[in-house]
Homo-oligomer: A and B are copies of this chain.
Amino acid sequence: MAKKHTELFQIARYDCDVVGNQTLPSMVRMMIKVSGDQSRALGVTDDKIHSLGLGWIITQHDMYINRLPKAGEEVQITTEAVSYNKYFCYRHFWIHDVSGDECVHMKSTFALMDMKERKMGHVADEVVAPFESEKIKRIIRSEKIASLETPELEGEYKVRYLDIDDNQHVNNSVYLGWMMDVLGYDYLSTHEPEQVSIKFNKEVRYGESIHSLVERDNRVSRHQIKVNEDICAEANITWRE
């Protein structure tokens, strides 16, 4: 078992949507904050990673949502850097309510980018050692994300200054906002996400305009974020009313 790290959060109204449920971007930001805090507490700071010529990237999030946290609620967010292989680090997150019931479970895949070569770096044992993660040989399969075939709805979004985080990238939570927004008020205010898988292929940069495309198939929506012909991110979301 790797080391676990837990933090308490009070969910504010401003973390929530019009019906009082915490938004997906807000949930993802909080979970990623907890992993960042654990890393700093264990001495694996961003500065240390950068000094090795590397930077963390996220390649996929798989979220399983029993229920979304609500405005005014207190939740516990726990993370564990479960295992790693030569290229990937596998981290889990859990959001529990005050009764100890699991609201959300997220499995995320991280990789280290060689900043100079702009390609995947190797995961060095000493980077991961403080987390006591298990070293494995195999590649853990994330959820399969079915590609969108015929876009039903489309929206154009320009990257804004506040979309950029302190790593100079569009924050990974922003893509989920673009994806959901095209579904519109009537759909979003009457449906909740039950399972979300999002895969990040290519970085979107400040000043670029993206197209957010969606196609629905019963309870599943399939999403793409495109810059010109490049598919920068893809997602499948399963909804419940």
Query: Residues of A with Cβ closer than 8 Å to B?
Result: 12-14, 16-20, 23, 25, 29-30, 32-33, 36, 71, 155, 158, 160-162, 164-166, 168, 171, 173, 177, 180-181, 183-185, 188-189, 206-207
Q: Considering only CB atoms, which chain B residue lies closest to A173 in the complex?
A: B14
Shortest Cβ gap from A167 to chain B (Å) = 9
* A162, A164, A173, A180 interface centre (most CB from chain B within 10 Å): A162
Main SS of chain A's interface residues?
mixed
B165 adjacent to A177 (CB under 8 Å):
no
Say which residue of B36, B160, B173, B184 sits within 8 Å of A161 (CB atoms): B184
Task: Name A20's contact: one of B158, B166, B207 (CB within 8 Å).
Answer: B166
Partner among B13, B18, B160 whose Cβ is within 8 Å of the Cβ of A177: B160
Across the interface, A17 reaches (CB within 8 A) one of B20, B158, B161, B180, namely: B161
Is B29 within 8 A of A12, CB to CB? yes
